[in-house]
Chains A and B, each alone.
Chain A
């Protein structure tokens, strides 16, 4: 009785739905060991700062004069600072600020940068010329310098830091996005859409941007890395988030003053900055390898 009858819908079952193919690059990304490690590290960091109220252990601003500058122990995993505050808690809560600013600023940079580069690439001619010369102008000044001036002028609240750092990364993003769009713009599928009457806006949104997601993702991770570094640098020179709150850059600067007496004070904040930047750069690198076939065969 057990005759192997192929199910009538066998053909439907092996059907590769478009949705699954769309996630193929993500699965290929996760198969790269370096990318998997980087993504795990980033996920853990995000989890840590999101769950700060639960995993923070101590109040990061609670002063305990008798516990000042203690080394790492079971009670204070990363030791304490000169006011006896638990360094682990301060790093977790500081990361919440640092990563929060980074996410918001990256979102601003990607949104406006894509719009800017997109309009330049799609409109071409004089519009392109004007928009890109502005980009060249802004990019000729180091980001950190402009950031210093703007923060000094507009203050160092979380909002203003996110806005300033986001806006300062718009030009880099615009330049990358523009060149990615120019590659796609004259392909046959774009000409076909134009011939069917698609407006440049529709062409950009519906046809071209879906094909530039790889570049956008890579640019987003590079932006996030650069924003975290710049924010840390600003905090290090005292222009970042003001006390009693602290980001990793502030902690690094406070620890730097005690580098000979309390090594842990500078090492742990530094380590977190390092790991985050490393993970983001590896991610950008691996994304490029996975999404760009020419890179894949190197």
Chain B
């Protein structure tokens, strides 16, 4: 493992975020309106093909960082670079490329799928948007993706309501991978599924990374899950990164009291096996 937030290699990072700030104005009107700082000076780097985790309790600003990276919400200040280009200064063509290379998987597998469209239509939508191939080619790609995420091609004709939560999440992952992105944001992607399914999805994500070389920004509040998947991570509290580093550093010698508190809250202390994945639910 290399240095914590700054990668050592000569290769440029995939994502570079510098001094990112997001303030929301609460209520209407006047200059004295109450302001909420959601993200407060966040800097981080994500390298191609790696899994980087952003950890923190709800409201700590993790998802807001993701929204700004996806160019869904403008930052108040600071810069976000994806593949060396400022995300918020992209021209039309640049934005199209960004949309193709960056995808997201959400927490709620059911809400993230349009309930009126079949699995095939849902997975093919990104291909349609970017005018990839004709109808037949898109169908083949959908079947390929379904197999890739461990679903059967018969699922293609079904509506999301006919699938289980875990299956829906696989559809969400297939959709995210449709355009062969370089980075997929996993926003609490395994938090809403059963513990047994969670392990399956995590394994799937690992396999897919090995196969496609995609990088993950793994957003989660669950330290046990993060420990199992992310070699590097940053811990967020009240919009700031309070601690960052490799898995060994953060989990082995937590520097910040907030990280220690988070760690203490997760599993039963077991020196031999500090972060067993299956314990998360029992000790909650």
Contacts and interface: CB of A to CB of B under 8 A. Distances in A.
Nearest to A210: B116
B99 A196 contact: yes
A17 interface: yes
Interface stretch (B48-56, B154-162, B213-221, B225-233): B154-162
A191 B71 CA distance: 11
A2 interface: no
Nearest to B172: A192
Interface in A181-199: 187-189, 191-198
B275 interface: no
Nearest to A198: B129
A202 interface: yes
A15 B163 CA distance: 12
Q: Is the interface of A mostly helix, strand, loop or mixed?
A: helix
B114 A210 contact: yes
B111 to A, nearest CB: 5
A244 interface: no
A43 interface: no
Contacts of A210: 114, 116-117
B263 to A, nearest CB: 30
Given A16-B162, A21-B159, A197-B100, A192 B130 contact: no
Contact of B130 (A187, A197, A207, A211): A197
Contacts of A213: 116
Interface in A7-50: 12, 15-18, 21-22
B161 A196 contact: no
Contact of A191 (B72, B115, B162, B175): B72
Contacts of B113: 189
Interface stretch (B31-39, B102-110, B134-142): B102-110
A188 B106 contact: yes
B157 A192 contact: no
B193 interface: no
A57 interface: no
Given A17-B157, A192-B175, A196-B99, A207 B114 contact: yes
Contacts of A193: 114, 125, 129
Nearest to B113: A189
A97 B159 CA distance: 42
A210 B179 CA distance: 24
A210 B115 CA distance: 9
Most buried by B among A193, A197, A206: A197
Given A18-B157, A21-B161, A192 B112 contact: yes
Nearest to B71: A195
B157 A211 contact: no
Nearest to A188: B112
B41 interface: no
B162 A21 contact: yes
Contacts of B95: 197
A12 B154 CA distance: 9
5 contacts: A189-B114, A193-B125, A195-B103, A210-B116, A210-B117
Interface of A: 12, 15-18, 21-22, 187-189, 191-198, 202, 206-207, 210-211, 213
Interface of B: 70, 72, 95-96, 99-100, 102-104, 106, 108, 111-118, 125-126, 129-130, 154, 157-159, 161-162, 172, 175, 179
Given A189-B111, A192-B112, A195-B104, 13 more contacts: A12-B154, A16-B158, A17-B157, A18-B118, A18-B159, A21-B159, A21-B162, A188-B108, A192-B172, A195-B103, A197-B126, A197-B129, A207-B117
